[in-house]
């Protein structure tokens, strides 16, 4: 694959071309030239007003529903949506049927995703069958290719299991990811507890449900050691807890779903189930707090939290509908809209930070290096219509709505995708 990228501003602090506007020539998947101006024949030329270029983005939380729920999404459709959304790497979660809890299932995902533009990194379960009782086969899954361990959206209620998981994962040079939600507090909740929830008459999910579980997990981490990642925080209180834990020297990182940076609980005024997510859309004060936390480096990564649901799971009364939205194709634009086009922190949260957390080698934007790149603009527009949705499911609140920022294309593994 031969591509000439014209007049792109490089956003990559580790590159010698950082903040420079240059032409980039890619031949057979390798960056062969980076110069102020390049002329080449018989190549695909990419030009776009305000074009920017970074290393390929990595999404640390996406559910491809494969195996078991392929009618909602499968690896093939999920990878297409990821490439269109600017991602050249995705961590696929264990929320499948059966969950990814042994070596064979990790190998299944890796083998199904081979020879694709998007690199796939499976996350194995923390507990066997995600039942929260016994540790999963962590070491076997690591040998098969699992990058971390998590029970996805099922919070681990047993503190002792978290303790043992932290200790064991540290011994095998890995880490655990755990969703924070005390079900004894949030049980039956439909949306964030607050003024909006009271006016709608729905049962609320207090911020306390997230924060008390987060505090417990931080306390266990302080005792046990190891490395802990919280995939999606959503409240001001959670930001303060993470900030304090980091200041105390604990190995803790966290992420946020792109839509939780942009939307607040007032979006649910019309009972649209496409806004029903977990963690729920929080208050305006919470949204402002998490935006500032991302800008200040307290929140490390931005994830799509891509969670496809078919029409039978979403076209229901609000209290019966399942949580989740498809978000791979809109994650960048929704986060960029929330941050008003301030690209630096967002790109760091999509590139260097997730690579560092996962212990993966960071791609480079230098001559002679393999091309693993995302092309985008912060001032363009994403207006996704239903025909452009590449996921099998259509559960998005952003269909037909203009967002600031546009993914122009992705390049990786000698393959390219162009929007």
Show the beta-strand stretches assigned E in 175-320.
176-177, 191-192, 204-205, 228-230, 252-257, 301-303
Give yes or no for a contact between 367 and 34, defined as CB atoms under 8 angstroms apart: yes
**188 Cβ partners below 8 Å, 6+ apart?**
203
Check if 305 is active-site: yes
Give yes or no for a contact between 363 and 347, defined as CB atoms under 8 angstroms apart: no
Longest dimension (CA), the chain: 64
* C-alpha dist (Å) from residue 200 to 154, 194, 204, 269, 283: 27, 10, 10, 7, 14
> What whole-number distance in Å separates Cα of residue 370 and Cα of residue 412?
8
Token output for 199? 């006016």
> What whole-number distance in Å separates Cα of residue 407 and Cα of residue 327?
13
Query: What does 308-351 look like in DSSP terms, one character per residue?
Result: ---HHHHSS-TTTSPP-B--TTTHHHHHHHHTTT-HHHHHHHHT
Q: What angle do CA 126, 130, 131 make, to 5 degrees?
A: 120
Please confirm whether the linkage preceding 279 is cis (ω < 30° from 0).
yes
**41 Cβ partners below 8 Å, 6+ apart?**
none
Q: Which of 59, 158, 305, 315 is catalytic?
A: 305
Give yes or no for a contact between 74 and 400, defined as CB atoms under 8 angstroms apart: no
> What whole-number distance in Å separates Cα of residue 417 and Cα of residue 419?
7
Among all residues, which ones are annotated catalytic? 305
């Amino acid at each position: 694959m031969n591509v000439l990228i014209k007049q792109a501003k490089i956003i990559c602090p580790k590159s010698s071309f950082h903040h420079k506007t240059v032409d980039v020539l890619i031949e057979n998947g390798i960056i062969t030239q980076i110069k102020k101006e390049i002329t080449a024949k018989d190549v695909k030329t990419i030009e776009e007003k305000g074009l920017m270029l970074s290393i390929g983005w990595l999404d640390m939380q996406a559910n491809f529903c494969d195996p078991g729920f392929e009618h909602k999404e499968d690896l093939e459709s999920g990878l297409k949506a990821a490439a269109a959304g600017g991602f050249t790497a995705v961590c696929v979660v264990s929320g499948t049927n059966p969950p990814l809890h042994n070596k064979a299932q990790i190998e299944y995902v890796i083998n199904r995703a081979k020879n694709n533009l998007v690199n796939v990194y499976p996350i194995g379960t923390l507990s066997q069958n995600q039942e929260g009782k016994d540790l999963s086969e962590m070491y076997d899954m690591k040998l098969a290719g699992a990058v971390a361990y998590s029970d996805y959206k099922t919070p681990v209620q047993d503190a002792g299991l978290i303790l043992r998981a932290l200790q064991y994962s540290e011994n095998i040079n890995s880490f655990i990811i755990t969703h924070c939600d005390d079900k004894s507090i949030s049980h039956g909740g439909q949306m964030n507890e607050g003024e909006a929830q009271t006016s709608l008459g729905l049962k609320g999910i207090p911020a306390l449900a997230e924060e008390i579980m987060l505090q417990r997990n931080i306390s266990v981490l302080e005792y046990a050691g190891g490395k802990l990642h919280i995939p999606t925080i959503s409240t001001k209180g959670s930001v303060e807890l993470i900030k304090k834990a980091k200041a105390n020297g604990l190995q803790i990182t966290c992420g946020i779903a792109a839509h939780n940076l942009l939307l607040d609980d007032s979006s649910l005024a019309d009972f649209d189930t496409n806004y029903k997510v977990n963690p729920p859309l929080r208050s305006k004060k919470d949204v402002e707090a998490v935006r500032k936390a991302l800008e200040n480096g307290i929140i490390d990564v931005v994830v799509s939290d891509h969670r496809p649901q078919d029409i039978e799971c979403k076209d229901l009364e609000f209290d019966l509908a399942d949580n989740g939205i498809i978000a791979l194709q809109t994650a960048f634009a929704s986060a960029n809209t929330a941050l008003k086009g301030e690209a630096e922190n967002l790109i760091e949260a999509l590139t260097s930070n997730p690579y560092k957390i996962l212990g993966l080698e960071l791609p480079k934007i230098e001559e002679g290096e393999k091309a693993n790149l995302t092309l985008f603009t912060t001032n363009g527009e994403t207006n996704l219509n239903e025909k452009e949705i590449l996921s099998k499911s259509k559960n998005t609140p952003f269909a037909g709505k203009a967002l600031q920022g546009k993914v122009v294309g992705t390049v990786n593994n000698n393959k390219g995708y162009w929007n």
